[in-house]
Amino acid sequence: MSQSAPATTLQDIIAHAKEYGFVFPSSEIYDGLQAVYDYGQNGVELKNNLKAAWWKSMTQLNDNIVGIDAAIFMHPLTWKASGHVDGFNDPMIDNKDSKKRYRADQLLEGKAEQLANEGKADEAKALLEKMGQLLSAEKLDEVRELIVAENIVCPVSGTANWTDVRQFNLMFSTQVGSVADDASQIYLRPETAQGIFVNFLNVQKSGRMKVPFGIAQIGKAFRNEIVARQFTFRMREFEQMEMQFFVRPGTEMEWYENWKETRLRFHKAIGLPAESLQYHDHEKLAHYANAAVDIEYKFPFGFREIEGIHSRTDFDLRNHQELSKKKLQYFDPNVDPETNKPYGNYIPYVVETSVGADRLFLATFCNAYTKETVGEDDKAKERLYLKIHPALAPVKAAVLPLVKKDGLAEIAQDISNSLKSSFRTVYDDGGAIGKRYTRQDLIGTPFCIAVDYETKEDNCVTIRHRDSTEQERVPIASLKEKIGQAVAIERILEAI
């Protein structure tokens, strides 16, 4: 019998991720680099599997979506056209006593959350609305006044001795070439989307794509986040999985609704429970959007965004067309039933889906972290394991000889070798079998295959299932198919 254990904290997650080779602080021997992380031997497998599930869900399940891989560096005018040079800012405020820097909007959002928790939902809503209005109108003095009026103090110094609110551009810049003048300044892309926009016609023409169609991409993005915390939730270097879906103007809201639903199904299909997911409509729309919603996951620190779905209008393509002086239009031969004439040339509208690979990783990891108390009274003991979807698990099967001697190790090695080409399999003969099961539980291996003396007689092995710990006896010859089916990425794709 099992009972539920105390709630998981972010500290539990960070410690487990480090101890079992999922995520390490970057350049840790030099005390790390704030908000930058490295994926370890198990983390990279889990992250790659998540990326593969996303990539296939986009490019394999949809005939009209293709992928690209654009460069991180782009012509600097890209970021002028996209609005990032002028508008990709966060409002920051410093506390003069503690010298700590905060995002002004996050201070106010924190206050609104506190009000909502105290049952003052109307006050919370009014505060967020007021903040949205002031930020949209760039009334930064009044944002500061609002912070003071709400008695918001610095959590470190406890004072309200605030500086003015200033805008802080989040883009990292660097120099290209050897001459350090303004003309050679370029940016590290703050989103992957622009690599798709500038290639819109290249892909449309070379792929003979017809609207509606989409372009998908996975790649690194960089933001000089003011407040970087909550582990891999907010990083300065991270990975995005974005898809821009080009549609005929006027049809964008249908597609927006469609992608909203499809993307939620994806998150459920990878194993995130429905009750831990929710939509959150944006209070303050980004400079490019006419509708936007977040899909949020319930992290140990509350519901937070993992994916954004944005109706971006023709903002990006139109601005690129204007600045580059290159036509970015599509000729639509379909007949408009109202005019009886072809729709003709237009700049498509865009519905974007944008999910962070690192946030998806963190959500999957938090969801998988399972602590149970097994047994009762003096026999009660705690069991910890990662309940990762079998198709996403870093290792799919571990082959464990009961003992190393009497030929059992050789049989186990042979089994491991025969499975390796189909899915990630490891061989482990170190220590008591119970300890070896635990080792695999802690990294989320769904199947352990035990080789014992009977195996020599009946050519069968015992499969031990991670979640139930139940054991079943199966012929060696059936392992590849049986485990292969359970760990195939198709299991996720079929569930979307």
In the complex, the residues that contact ligand GAP under the rule CB under 6 A are 191, 193, 223, 225, 234-235, 238, 240, 242, 305-308, 352, 354-356, 358-359
To ligand GAP, the closest distance from the beta carbon of 73 in angstroms equals: 17
Q: Is there a contact between 77 and 324 (Cβ–Cβ < 8 Å)?
A: yes
Peptide bond into 333 cis (omega under 30): no
Which lies closer to ligand GAP via its Cβ, residue 226 or residue 463? 226
Q: Is there a contact between 197 and 81 (Cβ–Cβ < 8 Å)?
A: no
To ligand GAP, the closest distance from the beta carbon of 192 in angstroms equals: 7
Q: Cα separations (Å) of 159 from 95, 151, 228, 457?
A: 8, 9, 22, 76
Which lies closer to ligand GAP via its Cβ, residue 286 or residue 488? 286
Which lies closer to ligand GAP via its Cβ, residue 307 or residue 452? 307
CA gap 148, 274 in Å, rounded: 39
CA gap 368, 58 in Å, rounded: 24
Q: At what angle do helices 104-117 and 140-149 cross, to 10 degrees?
A: 40
Which lies closer to ligand GAP via its Cβ, residue 81 or residue 355? 355
Which residue, 443, 463, 471, is CA-closest to 387?
443
CA gap 192, 84 in Å, rounded: 13
Q: Cα separations (Å) of 430 from 172, 403, 444, 453, 465?
A: 47, 9, 18, 18, 20
Angle at 197 between CA 205 and CA 496, to 5 degrees: 90
Which lies closer to ligand GAP via its Cβ, residue 288 or residue 437? 288
To ligand GAP, the closest distance from the beta carbon of 366 in angstroms equals: 14
User: Residue 180, class by beta-carbon neighbours within 10 Å (0-12 exposed, 13-18 middle, 19+ buried)?
Assistant: exposed
To ligand GAP, the closest distance from the beta carbon of 380 in angstroms equals: 39
To ligand GAP, the closest distance from the beta carbon of 217 in angstroms equals: 10
To ligand GAP, the closest distance from the beta carbon of 451 in angstroms equals: 43
Which lies closer to ligand GAP via its Cβ, residue 306 or residue 317? 306
Which lies closer to ligand GAP via its Cβ, residue 222 or residue 427? 222
Which lies closer to ligand GAP via its Cβ, residue 227 or residue 323? 227
CA gap 129, 284 in Å, rounded: 9
Q: At what angle do helices 104-117 and 121-136 cross, to 10 degrees?
A: 170
Query: Which residues are registered as beta bridge partners of 401?
Result: 451
Name the token pair of 303. 């519901």
**Which residue sits closest to ligand GAP, CB atoms considered?**
356
CA gap 337, 340 in Å, rounded: 5
Name the token pair of 405. 């001697």
To ligand GAP, the closest distance from the beta carbon of 119 in angstroms equals: 30
To ligand GAP, the closest distance from the beta carbon of 289 in angstroms equals: 9
Which residue, 455, 358, 461, 342, is CA-closest to 406?
455
Q: Is there a contact between 351 and 259 (Cβ–Cβ < 8 Å)?
A: yes
Q: Is there a contact between 248 and 343 (Cβ–Cβ < 8 Å)?
A: yes
Which lies closer to ligand GAP via its Cβ, residue 359 or residue 436? 359
Which lies closer to ligand GAP via its Cβ, residue 26 or residue 157? 26
To ligand GAP, the closest distance from the beta carbon of 40 in angstroms equals: 18
Which lies closer to ligand GAP via its Cβ, residue 329 or residue 354? 354
CA gap 183, 186 in Å, rounded: 8
CA gap 362, 369 in Å, rounded: 11
Which residue, 292, 290, 265, 259, is CA-closest to 277?
265
Q: What three-state secondary structure class fits 17?
A: helix
Q: In one letter, which amino acid is 163? A: T
To ligand GAP, the closest distance from the beta carbon of 51 in angstroms equals: 13
To ligand GAP, the closest distance from the beta carbon of 321 in angstroms equals: 19
To ligand GAP, the closest distance from the beta carbon of 240 in angstroms equals: 5
Which lies closer to ligand GAP via its Cβ, residue 38 or residue 225? 225
